[in-house]
Structure formats: C-alpha cells, structure tokens
Amino acid sequence: MAPCSLPLLPTWGDQDIPSMFRQIMDTVAELKAKSDLTASVLAMKERMESMEKELQALKDIPKVAFAASLGGNGLQKAGDFNKKLVYREVLTNVGGAYNVETGEFTAPVRGVYYIRFTANAPTDVTLSSMLYKNGGKVILVAHESPSGEGSHTASNGATLLLEEGDSLQMMLWANTQVWDNANHHSGFLLFPMPQQLKQ
C-alpha cells in the first residue's frame, strides 16, 4: 500500500497563503492609517485657511480713535442761535475720521462707536454741550449757573451704531458758554457691524 500524503497548500514563492494574508492585512491597516493621517492633514489645512481668513478680516478692521480739545484760553459763547463747536487741538486722530477744520467726526465704517464729551464753564453762566448726529440731537449736557465763584463741569457719553458716512458734531446751545481750554470731545470704534447684523 502506497503511503498517504496530504495535499500541499499553494505557495507564493516561499510564503504560504496565511502568511500572505497577514501581510495583506498589515498593508491594509497601514494604508488606512495613512488615509486617516491624510484626512487629518486636510482638515488641519482647512482650519488653518479659515483662521488665516479670520486673521485677515481682523487686520482689515479700520483703526478709529480721536480726542480733541477746544484749545485757546477764553470762552466759547453762543448768541441767540446754537453754535458749532470745533475742537482744534487734536490729541489723537487715528484713522483721520475727525476733521479739525469743521469739528465733524465722520464714521469711516458701519459699526458701534463710543463717543464722549466734557464741558466746563464759569459759574456765572449757563453751560451746555450737545452731540448731533446727521443734524439731529442725540445727547446733551446742560447746567444752570450755580452760585459762587469758580467753574462747573458736566460730562456725557453714548454708544452709537453709526452707518458709514454718518456725521457727528458738537454744538453749544443758544445763550450758553463754555471755557475753551477745559472742554474735550473723543470717540473710538468699538467694533464693526456687518450690514446683515441688526441693531
């Protein structure tokens, strides 16, 4: 009787099928890891591009800030009509939105701004100072003459949503006065407001 022999498993070179299968599975796992890494790199690239756009948008935000005083060493007086106050001594005018010739601040971009002013006058006169936006009164300070010698001071401020091109102007009420050298007006852009965002 001839000896019985088991059939040989097919081989690839010197490797048998189970060994080849393990190698294929290892290669698949390696490719999957590379694929996952590629996906992670692409996701990181997208995030970086998004962050670069945000950074550029921040760089594009205009820098706007001004501060000025009336200057001089006397009184600004209004007769029977309101008088425009022109703050000629500019302390700061970043962005150039304040016009020293007209005393007007023109918003260079739609956004929320903080505007402030201070008025000081001798005690024997009535003090006033009014902030106008595009010709309409926004806020004011007014103070009747107190008794005694010296001066009196008032201050006010507001946070305003301004459209690009809106104009702000300070006015002195009719028949009131303020000192030249102790009255200040300032403002700055807090943040821009895209057109689609509401007030």
Tens-digit pLDDT profile for the chain (199 aa)? 555 554 555 555 556 777 777 888 888 788 788 888 888 888 888 898 888 888 887 777 889 999 999 887 777 778 888 899 999 999 999 999 999 999 999 999 999 999 999 988 887 788 888 999 999 999 888 877 666 676 778 889 999 999 999 999 999 988 888 877 778 999 999 999 877 655 5
| Neighbouring-strand partners of residue 89 | 69
Domain boundaries, the chain: 14-60, 65-192
Q: Which CATH number fits domain 65-192: 3.40.50.620, 3.40.50.720, 2.60.120.40, 2.120.10.30?
A: 2.60.120.40
Q: d(Cα 32, Cα 36) in Å, to the nearest integer?
A: 6
Phi/psi at 64 (nearest 5 deg)?
Answer: -135, 120
41-49's contacts with Cβ under 8 Å and 24+ in sequence apart are none
Tokens standing for 54?
């945000």
Q: How many CB atoms lie within 10 A of CB 115?
A: 22
Residue 46 phi, psi dihedral angles, 5° rounding: -60, -40
